[in-house]
Structure 1
């Protein structure tokens, strides 16, 4: 007999009380969290500690953990050749009030502040050294190996998901077969990279994905700043020119143009324009 996981009440940690959670983290990791430094996001909370480290606390329902688990930050510590904060330790526990797990990871602090919000509306004017480190890290990431499967937006990426997302928004005549799967961060946006010194963090969703997922995700997060979106495409030209990169561009566009599209999103028109161009290129191949 199989047992389904009960439905979990949606929670936004930006507004949900978290004092008891943070108290437990302090006791378990034997640290003091700086209350003035707390950063609250929809599904995570982070803060500085009294030993000059950073602690990120995440809440996740059991049905979002699955076979892969959710030790992304811990397992990413084994990746070679890329700039990221060193992982130092963690504490994990199950919530007594429902089918939910909490996890707190302690890492080194970032060498700079996050570039900005996930989706930018102004050019961050990044130095050339930043772009070199960015490219070096993404290239190194793709050369690593893993059995993990990426979970963008906490959903495991599969051939079926790629096909369903693209054909649900665009033409059924597009061949959506993925050729190459490589390790990807899977949540590459401007809130998960630091500047002026580059570092990549928040590794909860990383794993194998179609080539170009990260590049396309960051490009989509840049579309409200045309020059920045163009820069991302130039820097990751190899990804975007690959067949899988074109599919990932459509995959990213589907999240902007799909059924849940926000009518006032300034990215809609550039995404629609790029989608038409990419579809023509794929159909011509």
Structure 2
């Protein structure tokens, strides 16, 4: 998903990945999938998917660390790979968590978070996705799990979009529902950041991350209308817009999205 980190981090994470595979009696194979700045490393491991997450000792254990394990209690109507086993250890100032998943039987929609072209998703896919988002939104937001903090959105929405925030309808969201985290099943991957977010936040991410392909974005907006047409989805849309514009100078695909997001805000 992201570029490999520096050589020192690569070497350290590969050693840890080998240790994790040994603990599960497996061998990591295939393409390596790196997380942001080498914080995670994932790859196939036999019939499973092996994900390794790392943090400096003393900084592990927060919501990002516990997100995948906590997601095991979500309803079956939210399609995601099974998380079978977890192993934790520390060494040389770093804490590691290895997670062994069932392998998603279908490929991800895009090799990067945004869409550059129409992925050709059928109507049935969108219906299943909306049903999954509805099932997730019905889950009471877990105490202490926040995908988006209220103080944050009330600050960045006026600053970066010029719009004001009124009442916020809160629901439970995945929190990072981009096209590299969804398969053609659909199965939803990467549950580390899920929690409370403004209504429509996940659907807004899918829509706005399609803006580089205007015809696809129009189709996406139509398919997600059952969510995005609701008045309470406005704050979710504005939150994602603000996040894109805030990070446009440091994340490449946000740089690409900035102009179409501004055009969208001008029409809003």
TM interval, shorter chain, is 0.7 to 0.9
Note if 1:101 corresponds to 2:95.
Answer: yes
Paired position in structure 2 for 1:114: 108
Number of residues paired by the alignment? 257
Deviation (angstroms), 1:198: 1.0
More helix by share: 2
* Cα 1:65–1:267 shift into 2, 3 Å: same
Give the alignment of 1:225-240 within 5 angstroms.
225-240=213-228
Deviation (angstroms), 1:87: 1.2
TM-score by length of 2: 0.85
* Cα 1:178–1:188 shift into 2, 3 Å: farther
* Candidates 169, 172, 175, aligned match of 2:160: 169
Mapped contact 1:148–1:206 kept (Cα < 8 A): no
Paired position in structure 1 for 2:44: 48
Taking the aligned partners of 1:268 and 1:109, their CA distance within structure 2 comes to: 34
Give the alignment of 1:60-209 within 5 angstroms.
60-61=55-56, 68=63, 70-80=65-75, 81-97=77-93, 100-116=94-110, 117-148=112-143, 152=147, 157-171=148-162, 174-195=163-184, 197-209=185-197
Partner SS state of residue 38, structure 1 = strand
Paired position in structure 2 for 1:277: 267
Deviation (angstroms), 1:135: 1.4
Q: For the aligned residues, what is the CA RMSD?
A: 2.6
* Cα 1:215–1:63 shift into 2, 3 Å: farther
Gaps of 5+ in 2: none
Taking the aligned partners of 2:22 and 2:158, their CA distance within structure 1 comes to: 49
Gaps of 5+ in 1: 1-10, 279-285
TM-score by length of 1: 0.80
